[in-house]
Amino acid sequence: MPYFTEIATHEDPDTAQLHDFLEAARRFLSDLLTNELQLEHPRPAVLPPLFAHLRQDALVVFQEYVHERFGQLHAAVDMADTETLRSAGLTGQPQYLKLRTLAALELSPGGEAAYWPRIVNMTDQADTILESILDLLRTVVPGMDGYAGLFKEYRATVLNILRG
């Protein structure tokens, strides 16, 4: 089941696609950490060494701290008005480009050797979109700073683990 390709078919993404992205990002991250990613590409038998070593620790933090924060992000998105989301590039054509890029990465060609670089690129692109969402929500939603910091640090850690 694809993560981001269906969301990227909406040429003028709105708040509904922003919610769809958050859910897809949560599912992608969860599947990555449980070693159950569902991509149509051949998967190498060996994980990147640092990822193999720290994946379980990252999964525990995800399950105990980060997973529920996605629900808070959904609620915060609902608190932001439509025009603010659009002017920040989180809906409309700017978001469409970001989502299309993510979908293109998900569908990019290549065998086993391209698998982990693809995952790093997908994670990096999803992180860029999440960072844009968090940056805006910190300015318009009271109380966002606390868990925005946790999100940012956690995402950076997962990317570092993947890159090894």
Predicted TM-score of the model (pTM): 0.93
What Cα–Cα distance (Å) separates residue 104 from each residue in 6, 91, 97, 98, 122?
A: 11, 19, 10, 10, 9
pLDDT of 149 > 90? The answer is: no
pLDDT: which is higher, 60 or 151: 60
Q: Look at residue 69 and tell me whether its pLDDT is greater than 90.
A: no
- The helix (run of H) or strand (run of E) holding residue 1 is none
Contact between residue 130 and residue 124 where contact means Cβ atoms under 8 Å apart = no
CATH architecture of 7-163: Up-down Bundle (1.20)
Which of 130, 154, 135, 155 is CA-nearest to residue 145?
Answer: 135
- CA 85 to CA 113: how far, in whole Å? 38
- Cα distance between residue 43 and residue 72, in whole Å: 33
Residues 6-60 pLDDT 10s? 999 999 999 999 999 999 999 999 999 999 998 988 899 999 999 999 999 999 9
How many whole angstroms separate alpha carbon 79 and alpha carbon 48? 39
Domain ranges across the chain: 7-163
Interior/surface letters 82-119, b for 16+ CB within 10 angstroms, e for the rest? eeebbebbbbeeebbebbbbbbebbeeeeeeeebbebb
